[in-house]
Amino acid sequence: MRREVREFQHHVRQWAARLPIGTTAYLGCDILNYSLILMDMQLTAAIDAAPYERPPGFGGMDS
């Protein structure tokens, strides 16, 4: 899924490059770009944490 997010982010950046800075459409692309950056960071964190997560009750009492 990260690949699709990054491809879409690339498209958004291309759209923004064609627009005059300061227009409503440019600002919309800028906000969308930042939200895609956050989404990519969250996906990366979830993927990186997955091998270390343990199910509740693993190796002892539930927390």
pLDDT surpasses 80 at 54: no
Q: Is the pLDDT of residue 24 over 90?
A: yes
Say how far apart CA 41 and CA 60 lie, in whole Å: 32
Closest CA to 8 of 28, 29, 24, 27: 29
pLDDT value for 51: 67
15 near 29, Cβ under 8 Å?
yes
pLDDT at residue 18 in the model: 94
Tell me the mean pLDDT in the region 24-44: 91
Burial class (CB in 10 A: 0-12, 13-18, 19+), 39: middle
Higher-confidence position of 38 and 62: 38
Residue 27 tokens, joined: 């600002």
In this structure, which amino acid lies at residue 12? V
What is the pLDDT, as a whole number, of residue 61?
58
